[in-house]
Structure 1
Amino acid sequence: MRAVRGQAAMAALAVCGVLALTACQNGDDPAAPDAKPTAAAPAPSTAPPAATAAVPAPSMSGAAPKPPATTATPAGKNPPAPAPPPAPTCGADHRMPVSPDTIAVQRYTPEGGMTSLIVQHGTYGCPGRFEPSGPWTYLPIAETAKITATAPILGPSTVTGKPISTSELTGWLDTHPDKGLPFRYHLNAEGVVDTLDEIYVK
């Protein structure tokens, strides 16, 4: 009887040993030195993560307005100054009405027993010069008329009016007809020129 119990005990120890050996070979014991490692985890990548483009937040009011276009000015240079306005052109629209006290003296005539100037009336144009126009007419002039003259009657350098006589004026007109020099004049009560002043023209 003791022999049978001894054999049963030996058989049980043998079974336990076989089971323990099988468990070690299958790696069920993680602390065993002969245990095989499980599948290795992938090594961490050393490459930096790919950069992602920043996406702007959507606008609440739709598309953003574009800034106004501007013209760039080169560094160190001032913007160009605006061009000055063009000067007004002279023409018929710029003429003044016919001057009531200015005439252009062209010639003279002694006919009728009295000296008469042959003159033209006219207007002051855009540059300020007297411009004769219209027909030639006659104006009698008194022998004692007060007359002043400048250049060219008294020479090219005389710019201030100096007194001359009626005969001196008619003598110059004999040798210089049709010059159309401008004079301011005045008529007396009889309609005769009693004052005649030459207007200096450069």
Structure 2
Amino acid sequence: MGGRGTAIRGPRRLRRQAACAALVLCGALALTACNGDDGSDAGAGAAGTTPGVSPVSPSAIPATSAAPAGGATPSAAASSKKPAPTATTPAKPKPPAPGPTCVPKASISPDEIAVYRYTPEGGSTSLIVKHGNWGCAVAGGATPFVTVGEETFIPIAEDAKISAFTPILPTTVSTPISTHELTSWLETHPNKGLVFHYNVNKAGVIDTLGQEEYTS
């Protein structure tokens, strides 16, 4: 009996060991199948990513800003720009300061004439003259004698007291000359218009004639 019981127990033990081994093998296969499913899912989720680089979540991407570099807002950047320079109108030149006012003499001087020529007609010597007045100084400082009206003639006495200087005489000092010396110069230098101060006697004949120092 003892030997048979030992023999019976031996096969049963082997069957239990085989059953346990089969259960362990099934458990291992089930665990492997589960791990394979997880790996395939992880591989599908990670498709398109570079190995070793963690995928970036959308929340980690910084939002882009329309503000210009430097942190300034668009309105601040626009206001910081300097306005374009505008064209300026050149300043008009100032008019020259008014000079001293020139007040000429009367329209016709009663005792001054411009002598141009002479004529011996009528049996006496007459000077061909124009009346006028002194104007305002011109360029160079010369003061012109402004004549008025047409030429006329005034008789001159043969013994009239006459004084003259340049250009009639080669001197700047007033020097007495005769009527003949004056008419001789006028004959060779007509229409010069030299200005003389004159005086007439009761007969209307020039008896005094003096060349003016301020002729043009």
Number of aligned residues: 165
CA distance in 2, matches of 1:193, 1:27: 155
Cα 1:58–1:160, aligned 2, differ >3 Å: closer, same or farther? Answer: same
Going by fraction, where is helix more abundant, 1 or 2? 2
Match of 1:187 in 2: 199
Q: Who wins on radius of gyration, i.e. which is larger? A: 2
Cα 1:184–1:7, aligned 2, differ >3 Å: closer, same or farther? Answer: farther
CA distance in 1, matches of 2:215, 2:208: 22
- Asked whether 1:150 is paired with 2:163, we answer no
Task: Report how far residue 196 of structure 1 moved.
Answer: 1.6
Q: Please give the secondary structure, in 2, of the residue aligned with 1:42.
A: coil
Cα 1:29–1:199, aligned 2, differ >3 Å: closer, same or farther? Answer: same
Q: Please give the secondary structure, in 2, of the residue aligned with 1:121.
A: strand
Q: Is the 8 A contact 1:117 1:141 kept in 2?
A: yes
Task: Report how far residue 138 of structure 1 moved.
Answer: 3.2
Match of 2:177 in 1: 165
Match of 1:75 in 2: none
TM-score by length of 1: 0.52
CA distance in 2, matches of 1:194, 1:17: 167
Letter in 1 for 2:22: A
- Asked whether 1:103 is paired with 2:127, we answer no
**Structural mapping, 1:1-202, within 5 Å:** 7-8=15-16, 10-24=18-32, 27=35, 38=43, 39=46, 41-42=49-50, 55=68, 57-59=73-75, 66-69=83-86, 98=107, 100=109, 102-109=112-119, 115-122=125-132, 124=135, 128-141=143-156, 143-151=159-167, 153-154=168-169, 158=170, 160-167=172-179, 168-173=181-186, 175-176=187-188, 178-187=190-199, 192=206, 194-198=208-212
Cα 1:24–1:68, aligned 2, differ >3 Å: closer, same or farther? Answer: same
Task: Report how far residue 147 of structure 1 moved.
Answer: 1.3
Letter in 1 for 2:85: P
Which deviations, in whole Å up to 9, do the C-alpha atoms of 1:118-163 show, x marking residues without a partner?
2112454866544544222233545342411312x33xxx462441
CA distance in 2, matches of 1:97, 1:42: 115
Task: Report how far residue 181 of structure 1 moved.
Answer: 2.4
CA distance in 1, matches of 2:156, 2:189: 17
Task: Report how far residue 197 of structure 1 moved.
Answer: 1.0
Structure 1: unaligned runs, 5 residues or longer = 45-51, 72-81, 86-94
CA distance in 2, matches of 1:97, 1:14: 155
CA distance in 2, matches of 1:141, 1:54: 105
TM-score by length of 2: 0.49
Structure 2: unaligned runs, 5 residues or longer = 1-7, 54-64, 96-103
Q: Is the 8 A contact 1:150 1:160 kept in 2?
A: yes
Which deviations, in whole Å up to 9, do the C-alpha atoms of 1:17-58 show, x marking residues without a partner?
22213433654599xxxx8883462367xxxxxxx9974733
Work out the percentage of aligned pairs sharing the same amino acid.
Answer: 32
Which deviations, in whole Å up to 9, do the C-alpha atoms of 1:173-197 show, x marking residues without a partner?
3x23742422131437857452421
